[in-house]
Structure 1
Amino acid sequence: MSMVSIQAELPALDNILANLSRRHRLPYTRAAVQAATMDLIQQTWIQYASGVQVNFSGGSFRVGVQTGDYVRSIQAGLRFPDDLTGEVFTTSAHGAAIEDGQAAKDMKPGLLGSPKAKTGAEGEKYITVPFRHGAPGTRTMPAMPKSIHQQAKKLQISRVTAPLPTRTYSWGGRIRKDETGKRSHTGAHPGAGYSWKAGKYQGLVRMGRPGQEQYLTFRRLSENSSPKSWMRPAIKPKPIRDAVLENTREQVQEMILQGFQQDLAAIGLGGD
Protein backbone atom coordinates (compact mmCIF):
# COMPACT_ATOMS: atom_id res chain seq x y z
CA MET A 1 0.00 0.00 0.00
CA SER A 2 1.36 3.41 -0.97
CA MET A 3 0.48 6.23 1.41
CA VAL A 4 0.85 9.98 1.88
CA SER A 5 0.38 11.04 5.51
CA ILE A 6 0.32 14.55 6.95
CA GLN A 7 0.37 15.49 10.60
CA ALA A 8 -0.09 18.88 12.23
CA GLU A 9 3.38 19.77 13.52
CA LEU A 10 2.51 22.69 15.76
CA PRO A 11 4.86 24.85 17.86
CA ALA A 12 4.71 24.17 21.61
CA LEU A 13 1.71 21.91 21.06
CA ASP A 14 2.05 20.00 24.36
CA ASN A 15 2.09 23.16 26.48
CA ILE A 16 -0.86 24.63 24.65
CA LEU A 17 -2.93 21.48 24.90
CA ALA A 18 -2.25 21.33 28.63
CA ASN A 19 -3.90 24.76 29.01
CA LEU A 20 -6.97 23.94 26.98
CA SER A 21 -10.21 22.86 28.61
CA ARG A 22 -12.02 19.81 27.26
CA ARG A 23 -14.30 21.98 25.12
CA HIS A 24 -11.32 23.31 23.09
CA ARG A 25 -10.35 20.78 20.42
CA LEU A 26 -8.45 23.01 17.96
CA PRO A 27 -11.35 23.06 15.47
CA TYR A 28 -9.62 25.36 12.98
CA THR A 29 -6.49 23.22 12.97
CA ARG A 30 -8.57 20.08 12.55
CA ALA A 31 -10.44 21.66 9.64
CA ALA A 32 -7.14 22.72 8.06
CA VAL A 33 -5.76 19.17 8.29
CA GLN A 34 -8.90 17.81 6.66
CA ALA A 35 -8.82 20.41 3.89
CA ALA A 36 -5.12 19.87 3.22
CA THR A 37 -5.64 16.11 3.06
CA MET A 38 -8.72 16.11 0.81
CA ASP A 39 -8.43 19.27 -1.26
CA LEU A 40 -4.68 19.32 -1.75
CA ILE A 41 -2.97 15.96 -1.15
CA GLN A 42 -5.74 13.73 -2.50
CA GLN A 43 -6.60 15.94 -5.49
CA THR A 44 -2.94 16.38 -6.46
CA TRP A 45 -2.40 12.62 -6.38
CA ILE A 46 -5.50 12.06 -8.53
CA GLN A 47 -4.22 14.58 -11.08
CA TYR A 48 -0.84 12.85 -11.24
CA ALA A 49 -2.49 9.44 -11.65
CA SER A 50 -4.64 10.92 -14.43
CA GLY A 51 -1.67 11.75 -16.63
CA VAL A 52 -0.72 15.39 -16.06
CA GLN A 53 2.97 16.24 -16.23
CA VAL A 54 4.61 15.81 -12.82
CA ASN A 55 7.56 18.00 -11.83
CA PHE A 56 9.83 16.34 -9.30
CA SER A 57 13.31 17.17 -7.96
CA GLY A 58 14.37 19.10 -11.05
CA GLY A 59 12.95 16.63 -13.56
CA SER A 60 9.55 15.61 -14.81
CA PHE A 61 7.56 12.53 -15.77
CA ARG A 62 4.07 11.56 -16.78
CA VAL A 63 1.99 8.42 -16.21
CA GLY A 64 1.64 7.07 -19.75
CA VAL A 65 -1.33 4.75 -19.27
CA GLN A 66 -3.98 5.56 -16.67
CA THR A 67 -6.57 3.22 -15.22
CA GLY A 68 -9.84 3.93 -13.51
CA ASP A 69 -8.86 1.43 -10.82
CA TYR A 70 -5.85 3.51 -9.77
CA VAL A 71 -7.81 6.78 -9.57
CA ARG A 72 -10.76 5.17 -7.78
CA SER A 73 -8.37 3.65 -5.25
CA ILE A 74 -6.98 7.09 -4.40
CA GLN A 75 -10.49 8.55 -4.17
CA ALA A 76 -11.48 5.82 -1.70
CA GLY A 77 -8.17 5.84 0.17
CA LEU A 78 -8.84 8.56 2.74
CA ARG A 79 -8.75 8.36 6.54
CA PHE A 80 -8.10 10.44 9.65
CA PRO A 81 -6.50 8.39 12.47
CA ASP A 82 -6.94 11.35 14.80
CA ASP A 83 -7.95 15.02 14.69
CA LEU A 84 -4.52 16.23 13.61
CA THR A 85 -3.51 13.52 11.14
CA GLY A 86 -4.75 12.85 7.62
CA GLU A 87 -3.81 10.00 5.30
CA VAL A 88 -4.36 9.33 1.60
CA PHE A 89 -3.46 5.89 0.26
CA THR A 90 -3.87 3.53 -2.66
CA THR A 91 -3.97 -0.25 -2.80
CA SER A 92 -4.00 -0.33 -6.62
CA ALA A 93 -1.67 -2.86 -8.21
CA HIS A 94 -1.27 -0.51 -11.17
CA GLY A 95 -0.20 2.27 -8.81
CA ALA A 96 2.35 -0.02 -7.16
CA ALA A 97 3.78 -0.96 -10.56
CA ILE A 98 4.18 2.72 -11.43
CA GLU A 99 5.83 3.57 -8.09
CA ASP A 100 8.17 0.56 -8.06
CA GLY A 101 8.83 0.20 -11.76
CA GLN A 102 8.98 -3.19 -13.45
CA ALA A 103 11.90 -5.45 -14.27
CA ALA A 104 12.53 -6.63 -17.81
CA LYS A 105 10.34 -9.61 -18.55
CA ASP A 106 9.85 -12.40 -21.09
CA MET A 107 6.08 -12.32 -21.62
CA LYS A 108 5.99 -15.51 -23.68
CA PRO A 109 5.73 -18.13 -20.85
CA GLY A 110 2.90 -16.32 -19.10
CA LEU A 111 0.87 -15.78 -22.26
CA LEU A 112 1.25 -19.36 -23.45
CA GLY A 113 0.33 -20.55 -19.96
CA SER A 114 -2.98 -18.67 -20.13
CA PRO A 115 -6.20 -20.73 -20.20
CA LYS A 116 -7.00 -18.85 -23.43
CA ALA A 117 -4.02 -20.45 -25.19
CA LYS A 118 -4.88 -23.11 -27.77
CA THR A 119 -3.07 -26.04 -29.34
CA GLY A 120 -2.45 -26.12 -33.08
CA ALA A 121 -2.74 -29.04 -35.47
CA GLU A 122 0.91 -29.93 -35.01
CA GLY A 123 0.75 -29.74 -31.22
CA GLU A 124 2.26 -26.27 -30.71
CA LYS A 125 0.62 -23.90 -28.24
CA TYR A 126 -0.46 -20.49 -29.49
CA ILE A 127 -2.51 -17.50 -28.38
CA THR A 128 -3.92 -14.46 -30.13
CA VAL A 129 -3.28 -11.30 -28.12
CA PRO A 130 -5.49 -8.20 -28.65
CA PHE A 131 -4.08 -4.69 -28.27
CA ARG A 132 -6.37 -1.70 -27.86
CA HIS A 133 -5.40 1.68 -29.32
CA GLY A 134 -6.95 4.96 -28.26
CA ALA A 135 -7.88 7.94 -30.36
CA PRO A 136 -5.45 10.89 -30.22
CA GLY A 137 -5.55 12.48 -26.76
CA THR A 138 -6.68 9.30 -24.97
CA ARG A 139 -4.95 8.77 -21.62
CA THR A 140 -6.35 5.42 -20.54
CA MET A 141 -4.42 3.51 -23.22
CA PRO A 142 -1.69 4.18 -25.80
CA ALA A 143 -3.01 6.69 -28.34
CA MET A 144 -2.58 6.22 -32.07
CA PRO A 145 -1.18 9.00 -34.28
CA LYS A 146 -3.67 11.32 -35.95
CA SER A 147 -2.77 9.97 -39.40
CA ILE A 148 -3.68 6.42 -38.32
CA HIS A 149 -6.88 7.59 -36.63
CA GLN A 150 -8.00 9.32 -39.81
CA GLN A 151 -7.80 5.96 -41.58
CA ALA A 152 -9.20 3.92 -38.70
CA LYS A 153 -12.42 5.87 -38.19
CA LYS A 154 -13.34 5.30 -41.83
CA LEU A 155 -13.03 1.50 -41.62
CA GLN A 156 -16.12 -0.67 -41.93
CA ILE A 157 -16.94 -1.99 -38.44
CA SER A 158 -15.94 -5.55 -37.47
CA ARG A 159 -18.21 -7.49 -35.11
CA VAL A 160 -18.08 -10.43 -32.73
CA THR A 161 -20.51 -13.07 -34.04
CA ALA A 162 -20.04 -15.72 -31.34
CA PRO A 163 -18.88 -15.33 -27.71
CA LEU A 164 -16.15 -17.23 -25.89
CA PRO A 165 -14.97 -19.97 -25.85
CA THR A 166 -15.57 -20.30 -29.61
CA ARG A 167 -15.44 -16.58 -30.34
CA THR A 168 -15.77 -15.76 -34.03
CA TYR A 169 -15.82 -12.48 -35.92
CA SER A 170 -17.37 -10.87 -38.93
CA TRP A 171 -14.50 -8.75 -40.20
CA GLY A 172 -15.01 -5.35 -41.74
CA GLY A 173 -12.22 -3.10 -42.95
CA ARG A 174 -8.66 -3.13 -41.65
CA ILE A 175 -5.48 -1.17 -42.13
CA ARG A 176 -3.37 -3.33 -44.38
CA LYS A 177 0.30 -2.68 -45.02
CA ASP A 178 1.64 -0.02 -42.66
CA GLU A 179 5.13 0.50 -41.23
CA THR A 180 4.15 3.12 -38.63
CA GLY A 181 5.73 2.35 -35.26
CA LYS A 182 7.77 -0.60 -36.53
CA ARG A 183 10.70 -1.20 -34.16
CA SER A 184 14.09 -2.84 -34.07
CA HIS A 185 15.29 -3.41 -30.51
CA THR A 186 18.85 -2.41 -29.72
CA GLY A 187 21.01 -1.48 -26.75
CA ALA A 188 19.94 -2.57 -23.27
CA HIS A 189 16.58 -3.93 -24.46
CA PRO A 190 16.28 -7.64 -23.53
CA GLY A 191 14.94 -8.28 -27.02
CA ALA A 192 17.92 -6.61 -28.71
CA GLY A 193 18.44 -7.94 -32.20
CA TYR A 194 14.75 -8.55 -32.90
CA SER A 195 12.81 -6.44 -35.41
CA TRP A 196 9.03 -6.33 -35.59
CA LYS A 197 7.61 -8.01 -38.65
CA ALA A 198 4.91 -5.38 -39.11
CA GLY A 199 4.10 -1.84 -38.05
CA LYS A 200 2.30 -1.27 -34.78
CA TYR A 201 -1.03 -0.48 -36.49
CA GLN A 202 -0.92 -2.95 -39.36
CA GLY A 203 -4.09 -5.04 -39.29
CA LEU A 204 -5.96 -2.54 -37.08
CA VAL A 205 -9.75 -2.97 -37.06
CA ARG A 206 -12.64 -0.85 -35.84
CA MET A 207 -15.16 -2.55 -33.54
CA GLY A 208 -18.20 -1.57 -31.50
CA ARG A 209 -20.88 0.90 -32.51
CA PRO A 210 -20.66 4.40 -34.01
CA GLY A 211 -19.72 6.76 -31.19
CA GLN A 212 -18.50 3.83 -29.04
CA GLU A 213 -15.77 2.47 -31.26
CA GLN A 214 -12.81 0.44 -30.15
CA TYR A 215 -9.69 0.07 -32.24
CA LEU A 216 -7.73 -3.15 -31.96
CA THR A 217 -4.86 -5.05 -33.48
CA PHE A 218 -4.29 -8.79 -32.94
CA ARG A 219 -0.91 -10.50 -32.74
CA ARG A 220 -0.28 -14.24 -32.76
CA LEU A 221 2.24 -15.73 -30.33
CA SER A 222 3.22 -19.39 -30.47
CA GLU A 223 5.89 -21.73 -29.17
CA ASN A 224 7.58 -21.24 -32.55
CA SER A 225 7.83 -17.45 -32.17
CA SER A 226 11.28 -15.93 -31.87
CA PRO A 227 12.63 -16.14 -28.28
CA LYS A 228 13.16 -12.37 -28.37
CA SER A 229 9.83 -11.41 -29.90
CA TRP A 230 7.89 -10.86 -26.65
CA MET A 231 10.58 -9.37 -24.43
CA ARG A 232 9.41 -6.33 -22.45
CA PRO A 233 12.09 -3.84 -21.38
CA ALA A 234 12.46 -2.65 -17.79
CA ILE A 235 10.14 0.19 -16.79
CA LYS A 236 11.69 2.85 -14.56
CA PRO A 237 9.94 3.80 -11.30
CA LYS A 238 7.87 6.99 -11.31
CA PRO A 239 7.84 8.38 -7.75
CA ILE A 240 4.32 9.82 -7.69
CA ARG A 241 3.93 9.63 -3.91
CA ASP A 242 7.20 11.48 -3.28
CA ALA A 243 6.24 14.07 -5.90
CA VAL A 244 2.92 14.70 -4.12
CA LEU A 245 4.79 15.29 -0.86
CA GLU A 246 7.42 17.53 -2.43
CA ASN A 247 4.99 19.66 -4.41
CA THR A 248 2.43 20.21 -1.64
CA ARG A 249 4.61 20.39 1.50
CA GLU A 250 4.85 24.19 1.80
CA GLN A 251 1.17 24.78 1.08
CA VAL A 252 0.11 22.08 3.56
CA GLN A 253 2.27 23.60 6.28
CA GLU A 254 0.86 27.06 5.60
CA MET A 255 -2.75 25.83 5.70
CA ILE A 256 -2.24 24.08 9.04
CA LEU A 257 -0.33 27.00 10.56
CA GLN A 258 -3.13 29.39 9.65
CA GLY A 259 -5.69 27.09 11.25
CA PHE A 260 -3.56 26.83 14.38
CA GLN A 261 -3.24 30.60 14.62
CA GLN A 262 -7.03 30.92 14.39
CA ASP A 263 -7.39 28.46 17.26
CA LEU A 264 -4.92 30.42 19.38
CA ALA A 265 -6.84 33.64 18.75
CA ALA A 266 -10.15 31.92 19.57
CA ILE A 267 -8.92 30.90 23.06
CA GLY A 268 -7.14 34.15 23.75
CA LEU A 269 -3.56 32.89 23.34
CA GLY A 270 -2.73 34.55 20.03
CA GLY A 271 -0.71 37.70 19.66
CA ASP A 272 -1.51 40.81 17.67
Structure 2
Amino acid sequence: MNMLSIEAELPALDDIIARLSNGQQLPFTRAAVQAATTELIQATWIQYASGAQVSFSGGNFRVGVQTGDYVRSIQDGLRFPDDLTGEVFTTSAHGAAIESGQDARDMKPSLLASPKAKTGANGKKYITVPFRHGTPGAATMPAMPKAIYAQARNLSFSRVLSPLPTRSYSWGGRIKEDDTGKRSHTGAHPGAGYTWKAGKYQGLVKMGQPGHTQYLTFRRLSENSSKKSWMRPAIKPKPIRQAVIENTREQVQDMIVQGFQQDLAAMGLGGD
Protein backbone atom coordinates (compact mmCIF):
# COMPACT_ATOMS: atom_id res chain seq x y z
CA MET A 1 0.00 0.00 0.00
CA ASN A 2 1.33 3.44 -0.86
CA MET A 3 2.17 5.65 2.08
CA LEU A 4 1.22 9.32 2.20
CA SER A 5 3.55 11.39 4.37
CA ILE A 6 4.49 14.93 5.39
CA GLU A 7 7.93 15.91 6.72
CA ALA A 8 9.09 18.71 8.99
CA GLU A 9 12.78 19.46 8.61
CA LEU A 10 15.27 22.30 8.88
CA PRO A 11 15.02 24.13 5.53
CA ALA A 12 18.10 24.30 3.31
CA LEU A 13 20.65 24.62 6.11
CA ASP A 14 22.46 21.27 5.97
CA ASP A 15 25.80 22.79 5.01
CA ILE A 16 25.58 25.39 7.77
CA ILE A 17 24.81 22.70 10.31
CA ALA A 18 27.76 20.63 9.11
CA ARG A 19 30.12 23.58 9.54
CA LEU A 20 28.77 24.94 12.82
CA SER A 21 27.62 22.01 14.86
CA ASN A 22 30.96 20.19 14.80
CA GLY A 23 29.36 17.17 16.28
CA GLN A 24 27.16 19.08 18.74
CA GLN A 25 23.55 17.98 18.97
CA LEU A 26 21.46 21.17 18.44
CA PRO A 27 18.94 20.38 21.20
CA PHE A 28 16.71 23.42 20.59
CA THR A 29 16.41 22.62 16.89
CA ARG A 30 15.61 18.98 17.64
CA ALA A 31 12.90 19.98 20.13
CA ALA A 32 11.42 22.44 17.60
CA VAL A 33 11.27 19.76 14.90
CA GLN A 34 9.50 17.37 17.28
CA ALA A 35 7.00 20.04 18.38
CA ALA A 36 6.29 21.18 14.81
CA THR A 37 5.74 17.58 13.72
CA THR A 38 3.29 16.66 16.47
CA GLU A 39 1.64 19.96 17.48
CA LEU A 40 1.22 21.40 13.99
CA ILE A 41 1.45 18.82 11.21
CA GLN A 42 -0.01 15.76 12.95
CA ALA A 43 -2.65 17.73 14.89
CA THR A 44 -3.81 19.59 11.77
CA TRP A 45 -3.99 16.43 9.68
CA ILE A 46 -6.08 14.68 12.35
CA GLN A 47 -8.38 17.71 12.52
CA TYR A 48 -8.93 17.68 8.75
CA ALA A 49 -9.41 13.90 8.65
CA SER A 50 -12.02 14.23 11.41
CA GLY A 51 -14.26 16.46 9.30
CA ALA A 52 -13.11 20.05 9.97
CA GLN A 53 -13.46 22.50 7.08
CA VAL A 54 -10.25 22.65 5.04
CA SER A 55 -8.97 25.79 3.32
CA PHE A 56 -6.72 25.10 0.35
CA SER A 57 -5.42 27.35 -2.44
CA GLY A 58 -8.31 29.80 -2.16
CA GLY A 59 -11.04 27.17 -1.89
CA ASN A 60 -12.67 25.09 0.84
CA PHE A 61 -13.70 21.48 1.23
CA ARG A 62 -14.65 19.06 3.95
CA VAL A 63 -14.32 15.30 4.30
CA GLY A 64 -17.90 14.34 5.02
CA VAL A 65 -17.51 10.70 6.00
CA GLN A 66 -14.47 9.24 7.71
CA THR A 67 -13.42 5.95 9.16
CA GLY A 68 -11.74 5.56 12.52
CA ASP A 69 -9.00 3.69 10.68
CA TYR A 70 -7.93 6.84 8.84
CA VAL A 71 -7.56 8.99 11.98
CA ARG A 72 -5.91 6.17 13.96
CA SER A 73 -3.42 5.66 11.14
CA ILE A 74 -2.38 9.33 11.35
CA GLN A 75 -2.15 9.12 15.14
CA ASP A 76 0.11 6.06 14.86
CA GLY A 77 2.00 7.39 11.80
CA LEU A 78 4.74 9.34 13.54
CA ARG A 79 8.49 8.86 13.27
CA PHE A 80 11.77 10.75 13.41
CA PRO A 81 14.27 9.38 10.88
CA ASP A 82 16.97 11.56 12.46
CA ASP A 83 17.25 14.34 15.05
CA LEU A 84 16.34 17.05 12.55
CA THR A 85 13.53 15.39 10.58
CA GLY A 86 10.01 14.52 11.70
CA GLU A 87 7.48 12.66 9.59
CA VAL A 88 3.75 12.08 9.85
CA PHE A 89 2.26 9.41 7.59
CA THR A 90 -0.79 7.28 6.95
CA THR A 91 -1.15 3.90 5.29
CA SER A 92 -4.95 4.03 5.40
CA ALA A 93 -6.65 2.96 2.19
CA HIS A 94 -9.47 5.37 3.03
CA GLY A 95 -7.00 8.25 3.22
CA ALA A 96 -5.51 7.33 -0.14
CA ALA A 97 -8.99 7.19 -1.70
CA ILE A 98 -9.80 10.66 -0.38
CA GLU A 99 -6.56 12.06 -1.81
CA SER A 100 -6.96 10.47 -5.24
CA GLY A 101 -10.75 10.60 -5.59
CA GLN A 102 -12.86 7.73 -6.91
CA ASP A 103 -14.43 6.94 -10.24
CA ALA A 104 -18.16 6.43 -10.60
CA ARG A 105 -19.03 2.79 -10.08
CA ASP A 106 -21.76 0.25 -9.58
CA MET A 107 -21.59 -0.93 -5.97
CA LYS A 108 -23.94 -3.86 -6.52
CA PRO A 109 -21.41 -6.51 -7.74
CA SER A 110 -18.94 -5.96 -4.89
CA LEU A 111 -21.64 -5.89 -2.22
CA LEU A 112 -23.22 -9.12 -3.46
CA ALA A 113 -19.75 -10.70 -3.56
CA SER A 114 -19.29 -9.97 0.14
CA PRO A 115 -19.04 -12.98 2.49
CA LYS A 116 -21.94 -11.37 4.40
CA ALA A 117 -24.25 -11.84 1.41
CA LYS A 118 -26.84 -14.61 1.70
CA THR A 119 -28.89 -16.65 -0.73
CA GLY A 120 -32.66 -16.47 -0.48
CA ALA A 121 -35.22 -19.22 -1.00
CA ASN A 122 -35.52 -18.07 -4.62
CA GLY A 123 -31.81 -18.76 -5.20
CA LYS A 124 -30.98 -15.05 -5.53
CA LYS A 125 -28.24 -13.39 -3.50
CA TYR A 126 -29.05 -10.53 -1.15
CA ILE A 127 -27.32 -8.46 1.50
CA THR A 128 -28.52 -6.04 4.18
CA VAL A 129 -26.40 -2.89 4.30
CA PRO A 130 -26.34 -0.75 7.48
CA PHE A 131 -26.02 3.04 7.32
CA ARG A 132 -25.09 4.98 10.43
CA HIS A 133 -26.41 8.53 10.97
CA GLY A 134 -24.89 11.20 13.17
CA THR A 135 -26.68 13.54 15.53
CA PRO A 136 -26.98 17.22 14.51
CA GLY A 137 -23.55 18.84 14.43
CA ALA A 138 -21.67 15.56 13.97
CA ALA A 139 -18.46 15.93 11.97
CA THR A 140 -17.41 12.32 11.50
CA MET A 141 -20.53 11.10 9.69
CA PRO A 142 -23.56 12.57 7.88
CA ALA A 143 -25.77 14.29 10.46
CA MET A 144 -29.52 13.78 10.49
CA PRO A 145 -31.81 16.84 10.42
CA LYS A 146 -32.97 18.19 13.79
CA ALA A 147 -36.57 17.20 13.06
CA ILE A 148 -35.53 13.58 12.48
CA TYR A 149 -33.33 13.57 15.56
CA ALA A 150 -36.24 14.82 17.65
CA GLN A 151 -38.09 11.65 16.70
CA ALA A 152 -35.10 9.33 16.83
CA ARG A 153 -33.95 10.21 20.34
CA ASN A 154 -37.37 9.20 21.72
CA LEU A 155 -37.38 5.76 20.09
CA SER A 156 -37.09 2.71 22.32
CA PHE A 157 -33.81 0.83 21.88
CA SER A 158 -33.34 -2.02 19.42
CA ARG A 159 -30.81 -4.65 20.50
CA VAL A 160 -28.59 -7.34 18.99
CA LEU A 161 -29.53 -10.74 20.45
CA SER A 162 -26.94 -12.94 18.76
CA PRO A 163 -23.69 -12.28 16.84
CA LEU A 164 -22.80 -13.03 13.23
CA PRO A 165 -23.23 -15.17 11.17
CA THR A 166 -26.74 -15.82 12.57
CA ARG A 167 -27.30 -12.33 13.95
CA SER A 168 -30.77 -11.65 15.30
CA TYR A 169 -32.35 -8.54 16.80
CA SER A 170 -34.96 -7.41 19.24
CA TRP A 171 -36.48 -4.41 17.48
CA GLY A 172 -37.64 -1.38 19.41
CA GLY A 173 -39.04 1.85 18.00
CA ARG A 174 -38.62 2.78 14.36
CA ILE A 175 -39.23 5.87 12.22
CA LYS A 176 -41.89 4.69 9.80
CA GLU A 177 -42.93 6.35 6.55
CA ASP A 178 -40.83 9.46 5.95
CA ASP A 179 -39.67 10.97 2.64
CA THR A 180 -37.01 13.24 4.17
CA GLY A 181 -33.88 13.09 2.01
CA LYS A 182 -35.54 11.02 -0.72
CA ARG A 183 -33.61 11.47 -3.97
CA SER A 184 -34.17 11.23 -7.71
CA HIS A 185 -30.89 11.03 -9.61
CA THR A 186 -30.58 13.26 -12.65
CA GLY A 187 -27.92 14.77 -14.91
CA ALA A 188 -24.44 13.24 -14.92
CA HIS A 189 -25.22 10.85 -12.07
CA PRO A 190 -24.58 7.24 -13.23
CA GLY A 191 -27.89 6.29 -11.63
CA ALA A 192 -29.84 8.99 -13.49
CA GLY A 193 -33.50 8.06 -13.83
CA TYR A 194 -33.67 6.16 -10.54
CA THR A 195 -35.70 7.43 -7.56
CA TRP A 196 -35.21 6.06 -4.07
CA LYS A 197 -38.10 3.96 -2.85
CA ALA A 198 -38.04 5.57 0.61
CA GLY A 199 -36.65 8.58 2.42
CA LYS A 200 -33.13 8.47 3.80
CA TYR A 201 -34.31 8.05 7.40
CA GLN A 202 -37.31 5.79 6.91
CA GLY A 203 -36.89 2.73 9.12
CA LEU A 204 -34.28 4.39 11.35
CA VAL A 205 -33.69 2.64 14.69
CA LYS A 206 -31.81 3.50 17.87
CA MET A 207 -29.28 0.94 19.07
CA GLY A 208 -26.86 0.57 21.96
CA GLN A 209 -27.60 2.05 25.36
CA PRO A 210 -27.85 5.49 26.98
CA GLY A 211 -24.54 7.29 26.56
CA HIS A 212 -23.46 4.91 23.78
CA THR A 213 -26.23 5.32 21.23
CA GLN A 214 -26.10 4.69 17.49
CA TYR A 215 -28.76 5.54 14.93
CA LEU A 216 -28.97 3.24 11.91
CA THR A 217 -31.02 2.44 8.86
CA PHE A 218 -30.81 -0.84 6.95
CA ARG A 219 -31.27 -1.26 3.21
CA ARG A 220 -31.70 -4.53 1.34
CA LEU A 221 -29.82 -5.12 -1.93
CA SER A 222 -30.45 -8.21 -4.04
CA GLU A 223 -29.82 -9.53 -7.50
CA ASN A 224 -33.33 -8.34 -8.34
CA SER A 225 -32.57 -4.73 -7.38
CA SER A 226 -32.65 -2.12 -10.15
CA LYS A 227 -29.39 -1.82 -12.08
CA LYS A 228 -29.32 1.88 -11.23
CA SER A 229 -30.20 1.59 -7.56
CA TRP A 230 -26.66 1.29 -6.17
CA MET A 231 -24.72 3.48 -8.62
CA ARG A 232 -22.27 5.82 -6.91
CA PRO A 233 -21.20 9.05 -8.64
CA ALA A 234 -17.55 10.01 -9.05
CA ILE A 235 -15.88 11.56 -6.00
CA LYS A 236 -13.46 14.40 -6.65
CA PRO A 237 -9.98 14.29 -5.06
CA LYS A 238 -9.64 16.16 -1.77
CA PRO A 239 -5.96 17.07 -1.25
CA ILE A 240 -5.88 16.95 2.55
CA ARG A 241 -2.13 16.27 2.72
CA GLN A 242 -1.26 19.26 0.51
CA ALA A 243 -3.65 21.43 2.53
CA VAL A 244 -1.85 20.46 5.74
CA ILE A 245 1.49 21.39 4.16
CA GLU A 246 0.15 24.69 2.79
CA ASN A 247 -1.55 25.71 6.03
CA THR A 248 1.29 24.81 8.42
CA ARG A 249 4.37 25.57 6.31
CA GLU A 250 5.14 29.04 7.66
CA GLN A 251 4.54 28.12 11.29
CA VAL A 252 6.65 24.97 10.96
CA GLN A 253 9.55 26.87 9.44
CA ASP A 254 9.29 29.66 12.05
CA MET A 255 9.39 27.16 14.91
CA ILE A 256 12.39 25.31 13.51
CA VAL A 257 14.34 28.45 12.61
CA GLN A 258 13.74 29.84 16.10
CA GLY A 259 15.07 26.62 17.59
CA PHE A 260 18.11 26.82 15.33
CA GLN A 261 18.74 30.41 16.36
CA GLN A 262 18.66 29.36 20.01
CA ASP A 263 21.28 26.72 19.25
CA LEU A 264 23.45 29.30 17.46
CA ALA A 265 23.19 31.60 20.46
CA ALA A 266 24.12 28.73 22.80
CA MET A 267 27.24 28.18 20.65
CA GLY A 268 28.09 31.87 20.77
CA LEU A 269 27.42 32.24 17.04
CA GLY A 270 24.13 34.17 17.05
CA GLY A 271 23.80 37.80 16.02
CA ASP A 272 22.84 40.72 18.19
* TM-score normalised by the chain length of structure 1: 0.93
The answer as to whether partners of 1:158 and 1:171 remain within 8 angstroms in 2 is yes
The Cα of 1:70 is off from its aligned counterpart by 1.6
Letter in 2 for 1:186: T
The answer as to whether partners of 2:117 and 2:127 remain within 8 angstroms in 1 is yes
The Cα of 1:167 is off from its aligned counterpart by 2.4
User: In the aligned structure 1, how far is the partner of 2:37 from the partner of 2:49?
Assistant: 16
Which residue is equivalent to 1:14?
A: 15
Question: Helix, strand or coil: the match of 2:111?
Answer: helix
User: In the aligned structure 2, how far is the partner of 1:15 from the partner of 1:40?
Assistant: 25
Question: Helix, strand or coil: the match of 1:158?
Answer: strand
| 1:130-173 alpha-carbon deviations (Å, 9 max, x no partner) | 21112112233221111001111112222233333332223222
Structure 2: segments with no counterpart, 5+ residues: none
| 1:99-151 alpha-carbon deviations (Å, 9 max, x no partner) | 11111111111111122222222222111212111211223322111100111
**CA RMSD after TM alignment:** 1.6
> Within the alignment, does 1:152 sit opposite 2:157 as a pair?
no
After superposing the two structures, state which structure 1 stretch, 157-166 or 178-187, moved more: 157-166
Which residue is equivalent to 2:4?
A: 2
> Within the alignment, does 1:123 sit opposite 2:123 as a pair?
yes
Letter in 1 for 2:120: G
The Cα of 1:44 is off from its aligned counterpart by 1.0
User: In the aligned structure 2, how far is the partner of 1:87 from the partner of 1:163?
Assistant: 41
Question: Helix, strand or coil: the match of 2:176?
Answer: coil
Question: Helix, strand or coil: the match of 1:81?
Answer: strand
Letter in 2 for 1:145: P
The answer as to whether partners of 1:10 and 1:257 remain within 8 angstroms in 2 is no
User: In the aligned structure 2, how far is the partner of 1:157 from the partner of 1:10?
Assistant: 60
Which residue is equivalent to 1:261?
A: 261
Question: Helix, strand or coil: the match of 2:260?
Answer: helix
The answer as to whether partners of 1:157 and 1:207 remain within 8 angstroms in 2 is yes
Which residue is equivalent to 1:88?
A: 88
CA distance 1:156–1:21, shift in 2 (3 Å): closer
Letter in 1 for 2:262: Q
Structure 1: segments with no counterpart, 5+ residues: none
Which residue is equivalent to 2:59?
A: 59
Q: How does 1:1-272 map to 2 (within 5 A)?
A: 1-11=3-13, 13-15=14-16, 17-22=18-23, 24-272=24-272
Number of corresponding residues? 270
Question: Helix, strand or coil: the match of 2:157?
Answer: coil
Question: Helix, strand or coil: the match of 2:74?
Answer: helix
* TM-score normalised by the chain length of structure 2: 0.93
User: In the aligned structure 1, how far is the partner of 2:232 from the partner of 2:17?
Assistant: 57
The answer as to whether partners of 2:4 and 2:89 remain within 8 angstroms in 1 is yes
Question: Helix, strand or coil: the match of 1:250?
Answer: helix
User: In the aligned structure 2, how far is the partner of 1:28 from the partner of 1:210?
Assistant: 48
Question: Helix, strand or coil: the match of 2:48?
Answer: helix
Sequence identity percentage: 77
